[in-house]
Amino acid sequence: MEKTLEVRTEENREIRTVTIAGMVINIFLTVIKIFIGYIGNSQSVIADGVHSLTDCSTDIAVLVGLKYWSQPPDECHPYGHRRIETIVAVLIGTVLFLAGVILCWQALEKFKTGQYVVPLKITLFAAIISVIVKEFIYHWTIRVAERLKSPAMKANAWHHRTDSFSSIAVAIAISFALYNPAWAILDPLAAFAVGIFIMQAAISIVKPALKELSDQGATEEELKIIEKIVLDVEGVRSVHALRSRFQGPGLQVDLHLQVDGKLTVAQGHEIAGHAKRHLLEDGPGIVDVLVHIEPFEKQ
């Protein structure tokens, strides 16, 4: 069912709270990791700090986008502004991918020089702290994203988790280098691995968002569920011309119902209303339904 203004306001407040908290944490981690990576001679920790910096940019993108995608439908946007949320998800994925490319390029440059330096122990501390903090903010963000069905929030949550995973790789590489200086090559190798992982995460974020922007509809299984819900409504004889498309996290559906041709317009309209209500209440994430009534004709 359509959410009330109070519900939308509360949801937006929750999104804003978790995103601002994540941004503050990212700024803190960026400063700490880049500073410690610099004084501790660790390219992977510096790269990890750059990754945290990209998290800040995507937090800002969510906060700015929220102001627009949460607006109600207007004359220029009769279907609402939820596509803006999908665009923000694409933006986040693009920033992630570019960050991964830069980290890989920097690691390859380090391999070319062949000058590997054993990091100081303080760099291991920075990586471990990053893992703990980023896992916390990931779980917080993903819970909000899944409950509100927000693709932009989900993308941002995974951005936090990629930072956590990259810090794990960095911590392992530094540990080996500290144990045996001959393994100092693992530091730029970890930075390269982080870059690859970030690019893979970016692709997983952008791919479904682009499908949505290209008006991809419900799956075959979801369409069967929709059809069954409608056919179970009393008075519906047949359903056809079923179409759907995603608008942000919600599914828009339009379909043609066939009813007894002897019914009055008012009776047909009442059946259509029942069908719409059942779809909104029981359908797979449906937020809007348009029903066309036709007289049933035997073949």
CATH class of the 5-213 domain in this structure: mainly alpha
Check whether 5 has a pLDDT greater than 60: no
Check whether 265 has a pLDDT greater than 80: yes
Listed residue (150, 208, 210, 141) closest to 3, CA to CA: 150
User: What pLDDT band is residue 138 in, cutting at 50, 70 and 90?
Assistant: very high
User: What pLDDT band is residue 136 in, cutting at 50, 70 and 90?
Assistant: very high
Stretch 4-12: mean pLDDT: 67
State the pLDDT at residue 135.
92
Rounded to 10°, the helix 186-213/43-69 angle is 20
Tokens of 4: 């009330």
Stretch 216-239: mean pLDDT: 86
State the pLDDT at residue 208.
78
pLDDT over 70 percentage in the chain: 92
User: What pLDDT band is residue 70 in, cutting at 50, 70 and 90?
Assistant: low
Check whether 28 has a pLDDT greater than 60: yes
Domain ranges of the chain: 5-213, 220-295
Please state the three-class secondary structure of the chain as a single string.
CCCCHHHHHHHHHHHHHHHHHHHHHHHHHHHHHHHHHHHCCCHHHHHHHHHHHHHHHHHHHHHHHHHHHCCCCCCCCCCCCCHHHHHHHHHHHHHHHHHHHHHHHHHHHHHHHCCCCCCCHHHHHHHHHHHHHHHHHHHHHHHHHHHHCCHHHHHHHHHHHHHHHHHHHHHHHHHHHHHCHHHCCHHHHHHHHHHHHHHHHHHHHHHHHHHHHCCCCCCHHHHHHHHHHHHCCCCCCEEEEEEEEEECCEEEEEEEEEECCCCCHHHHHHHHHHHHHHHHHHCCCEEEEEEEEEECCCC
State the pLDDT at residue 152.
74
Residue bearing the bigger pLDDT, 61 or 26:
26
State the pLDDT at residue 8.
66
Listed residue (70, 69, 102, 285) closest to 202, CA to CA: 102
State the pLDDT at residue 222.
86
Residue bearing the bigger pLDDT, 126 or 96:
126
Domain 220-295 has CATH 3.30.70.1350: yes
Q: How far apart are CA 142 and CA 126, in angstroms?
A: 24
Check whether 139 has a pLDDT greater than 90: yes
pLDDT over 90 percentage in the chain: 5
User: What pLDDT band is residue 1 in, cutting at 50, 70 and 90?
Assistant: very low
Residues 6 or more apart whose CB falls under 8 angstroms from that of 94 comprise 202, 206
